[in-house]
């Protein structure tokens, strides 16, 4: 398979949790038409359908959380999901002939090495080249974001979550990718606005995938799942205690929407200094030594009193909007 019948390259974004994957995926999907006009193909299908690619190559698809949460254990149903995932991938490989195919998933890193190798071989059988791109952030920034996410989702509270949180094993995960795809095929980038091309993850990813191919300023990040303020996190913690996401293993029907938490202004989130200071020291040294990447540590919130007048005002405005919407 050569020439225009073969894909120029596949660029595979392996998303690490809380490292900008949702923003990248939503932006690429929203701009799929514009990207196609510049020789880049990204699936327009919802993320739920794109997950089926993982089913297609995973040796134990029943263990994947979307199958596990829906009690999908029937081998016939699992085989159907595998077939659907392979069909989805092959259709986009066909569409990308002579061009570049972009793929992104934060679930790839959880695949066993052998399964990743099978996906690698499948892609390389249809493309001239394959590159893997990963984004990493400082362990302290990652921990703060991870704590917020779990508390916001209602699956943990601050008291328990701070004790349970662990540094993201970025060295282990990068070494896994290098073992499967080879060091020359893996690109590691810092998730830092100061060093990202255009200050955006999508612009940076496209610059890595196809330098100069997409006009500057054509695509802007669709930022989602932004950080909470310290006050917003305190409210999320209270919500997780009075209305947790699950009760006796069943999703809690009495838990309401929580998007309004992002509208509460206030101080930036920081965790216990002694705990933050221990996070990821060895991984940071390894990242600098092996990849010449220095990740900036996020600043600590200045000491001060929470619930400033601005925070209370933003909460009042948010509650007023919700009250008006409920009465509409």
**Tens digits of residue pLDDT in 204-244:** 999 999 999 999 888 999 987 778 888 889 888 888 888 88
154 occurs within a structural domain: yes
Q: Is the pTM of this model over 0.85?
A: yes
pLDDT at 165 (0 to 100): 62
- Give percent of the chain above pLDDT 70: 95
Phi, psi of 58 (to 5 degrees): -80, 135
> Which segment, 7-16, 138-147, 153-162, is predicted with the most confidence on average?
7-16
324 occurs within a structural domain: no
Token couple for 172: 């282990």
13 occurs within a structural domain: yes
Phi, psi of 297 (to 5 degrees): -80, 135
135 occurs within a structural domain: yes
Lowest mean pLDDT among 112-126, 153-167, 199-213: 153-167
65 occurs within a structural domain: yes
Q: How many domains does the chain have?
A: 1
pLDDT tens column, 238-277: 888 888 888 877 888 888 888 888 888 888 888 888 878 8
Report the CATH number at residue 93: 3.40.50.300
pLDDT at 3 (0 to 100): 47
150 occurs within a structural domain: yes
85 occurs within a structural domain: yes
pLDDT at 88 over 90: yes
Distance CA 45, CA 50 (A): 7
Average pLDDT over residues 31-53: 89
Tell me the pLDDT of the chain averaged across its residues: 89
Helix axes 21-30, 201-209, angle to 10 degrees: 70
308 occurs within a structural domain: no
Token couple for 64: 């994947």
- Give percent of the chain above pLDDT 90: 53
Under the banding of pLDDT at 50, 70 and 90, the label for residue 1 is very low
Average pLDDT over residues 34-61: 90
Under the banding of pLDDT at 50, 70 and 90, the label for residue 49 is confident
Q: What domain range is 26 assigned to?
A: 3-209
Burial 192-217 (b: 16+ CB within 10 A, else e): beeebbbebbbbbbbbebbeeebeee
Q: Are 166 and 271 in contact (CB under 8 A)?
A: no
The torsion of the CA quartet 273, 153, 56, 130, rounded to 10 degrees, works out to: -40
């Amino acid at each position: 398979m050569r020439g225009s019948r073969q894909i120029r390259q596949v660029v595979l974004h392996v998303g690490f949790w809380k490292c900008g994957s949702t923003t990248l995926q939503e932006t690429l999907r929203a701009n799929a038409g514009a990207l196609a006009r510049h020789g880049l193909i990204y699936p327009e299908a919802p993320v739920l359908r794109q997950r089926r690619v993982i089913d297609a190559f995973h040796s134990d698809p029943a263990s994947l959380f979307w199958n596990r949460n829906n009690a999908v254990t029937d081998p016939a149903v699992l085989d159907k999901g595998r077939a659907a995932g392979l069909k989805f991938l092959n259709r986009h490989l066909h569409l990308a002939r002579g061009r570049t195919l972009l793929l992104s998933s934060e679930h790839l890193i959880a695949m066993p090495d052998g399964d990743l190798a099978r996906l690698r071989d499948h892609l390389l059988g249809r493309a001239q080249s394959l590159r893997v791109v990963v984004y990493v952030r400082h362990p302290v920034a990652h921990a703060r974001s991870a704590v917020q996410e779990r508390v916001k989702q209602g699956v943990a509270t601050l008291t328990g979550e701070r004790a349970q949180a662990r540094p993201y094993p970025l060295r282990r995960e990068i070494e896994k990718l290098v073992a499967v795809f080879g060091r020359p095929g893996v690109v590691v980038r810092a998730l830092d606005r100061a060093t990202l091309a255009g200050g955006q993850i999508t612009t940076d990813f496209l610059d890595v995938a196809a330098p100069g191919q997409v006009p500057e300023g054509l695509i802007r990040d669709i930022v989602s799942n932004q950080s909470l303020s310290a006050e917003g996190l305190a409210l999320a913690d209270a919500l997780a205690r009075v209305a947790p996401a699950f009760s006796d293993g069943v999703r809690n029907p009495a838990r309401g929407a929580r998007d309004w938490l992002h509208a509460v202004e206030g101080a930036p989130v920081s965790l216990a200094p002694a705990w933050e200071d221990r996070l990821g020291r060895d991984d940071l040294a390894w990242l600098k030594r092996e990849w010449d990447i220095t990740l900036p540590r996020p600043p600590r919130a200045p000491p001060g009193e929470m619930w400033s007048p601005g925070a209370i005002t933003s909460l009042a405005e948010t509650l007023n909007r919700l009250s008006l919407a409920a009465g509409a």
